Amino acid sequence: MTEDKKHIAILGSTGSIGTQALEVIASHSDYFEVEVLTAQNNADLLIAQAKKFKPNAVVIVNEDLYEKVKAELVPLDIKVFAGENALASIVEMSTIDLVLTALVGFAGLKPTIKAIESGKNIALANKETLVVAGELITKLAREKGVNIFPIDSEHSAIFQCLVGEFHNPIEKIILTASGGPFRGKKKADLIEITKVQALKHPNWTMGAKVTIDSATLMNKGLEVIEAKWLFGLKADQIEVVVHPQSIIHSLVQFRDGSIKAQLGLPDMRLPIQFALTYPERLLSDFPRFDFAKYSTLTFEKPDTETFRNLALSFEAMGKAGNMPCVLNAANEVAVTEFLKDNLGFFEMTRVIEQCMAKTSYIKSPTLEDYLATDSETRARAMEMI
């Protein structure tokens, strides 16, 4: 593979997924070449990554940091760009084979669209892209003949279960959820919950936004909507089950009643590597699962009365149109304000629910409608807060 390496662009290289993707790439340097790295604000880490991996180009989205990054990297013959427009256009580079979208939130939408329009295959860790504009994205990918390889552990698990089964109809998929740090708690127990408590996930190490979403079960709700588009499913074909050990990452049930599951220790490098190397499986030194150490794997129904965000996600998916976009925008604002201590744990759900009730509904939105809905919802959410 040394003569013909796969050239990767990582959008969001300084975040949790981006840094782990670079670990995977570093361990298979004969297979991969880093072509582009991007970051929002973390200039120091972006510079360090660029010095190590020597990409063709980098983008620092925060334009105030451009001169700092440029001074460090231009002497190394690394091109430096800044701003959101640069982030969206960098993916069009002809030397890129695959774009890994590891941006957090709505920010991933425009660059992903640009990458698909340029005919690039996508390794998708930005679930919000499909939540907000799933119909638009999947239609565009079909038109351009572009593959979308999921990186979320649950969607990767479904994808892996479907390899060799793509011709067989799915009866349903079962997405597993750890239950987050507050599994088993009732509303009265959680009124005074702080961000420090909510950021302590029992099984996974993730960025702050995803960790809070996991605590409220919104992360699972977003994954449900993403799964609908990734695998062409209806709402009644998607089920969520709480599996506290996070060993079974998700399951597929076929029409004959047979169920396939994908298992492994909680380690995001595995689904990242699978997305980057599909259809091959490369050797890894990741820790191996030992059945003897897990004598019990348990499953339970999610508590959608206490954790309303999961129910709201199913509601938004059922209504379709721009409603998942409303759900996502309201949630992004609510989580940001919770992390700033401006909003309580359950107030996040209140903001989301009220935004869904009050924002203009559009049945068949265009990209411009999605952008307008996002802006309108964010403004309304901030008014509530």
User: Which residues have CB under 8 Å from 338's CB, separation 6+?
Assistant: 195, 198, 212, 344, 345, 347, 348
3-state class of 342 per DSSP?
coil
Beta-sheet pairing, 248-254 with 170-177: antiparallel
186-243: pLDDT as tens digits: 988 888 888 989 898 777 677 889 899 999 999 999 999 999 999 999 999 999 999 9
CATH classification code of 6-150 = 3.40.50.720
User: Distance between CA atoms of 180 and 232, rounded to whole angstroms?
Assistant: 27
For residue 146, pLDDT beyond 90: yes
Q: What percentage of the chain has pLDDT greater than the value 90?
A: 91
DSSP 103-152: --GGGGHHHHHHHHHTT-EEEE--HHHHHHHHHHHHHHHHHHT--EEE-S
Task: Note the pLDDT of residue 347.
Answer: 95
- Residues 128-144 have pLDDT tens digits of 899 999 999 999 999 99
The H or E element that residue 198 is part of is: helix 195-198
pTM: 0.93
* pLDDT for residue 102: 95
Instruction: Tell me the per-residue pLDDT of 73-94, one tens digit each, with 9 for 90 and over.
Output: 999 999 999 999 999 999 999 9
Question: What is the distance between the alpha carbons of residues 288 and 85, in angstroms, rounded to a whole number?
Answer: 42
Beta strand residue intervals within the chain, DSSP E: 6-11, 32-39, 57-60, 79-82, 98-101, 121-124, 148-150, 170-177, 238-242, 248-254, 259-263
Q: Tell me what the mean pLDDT of segment 249-272 comes to.
A: 97
pLDDT band at residue 1 using 50, 70 and 90 as cut-offs: very low
β-pairing, 259-263 vs 248-254, is antiparallel
Helix axes 347-358, 367-384, angle to 10 degrees: 130
Q: Which residue from 374, 384, 375 is spatially nearest to 334, judged by alpha carbons? A: 384
pLDDT in tens, 249-260: 999 999 999 999
pLDDT at residue number 191: 86
As a whole number, mean pLDDT of residues 57-73 equals 98
pLDDT tens-digit map of 150-183 = 999 999 999 999 999 999 999 999 999 999 889 9
12-24 tens-digit pLDDT: 999 999 999 999 9
8 Å CB contact between 327 and 370: no
Q: Where are the domains of the chain?
A: 6-150, 155-319
State what percent of residues in the chain have pLDDT above 70: 99
Query: How far is residue 128's CA from residue 49's CA, in Å, rounded to a whole number?
Result: 26
Task: Give the pLDDT band (50/70/90) at residue 3.
Answer: low
Q: What is the DSSP string of 41-59?
A: S-HHHHHHHHHHH--SEEE
3-state secondary structure 299-340: CECCCCCCCHHHHHHHHHHHHCCCHHHHHHHHHHHHHHHHHC
Is the pLDDT confidence value at 2 over 50?
A: no
Mean pLDDT of the chain: 95
What is the arithmetic mean of pLDDT over 347-362? 97
| Token pair 């062409």: residue | 232
> 56: which 2 tokens?
């063709």
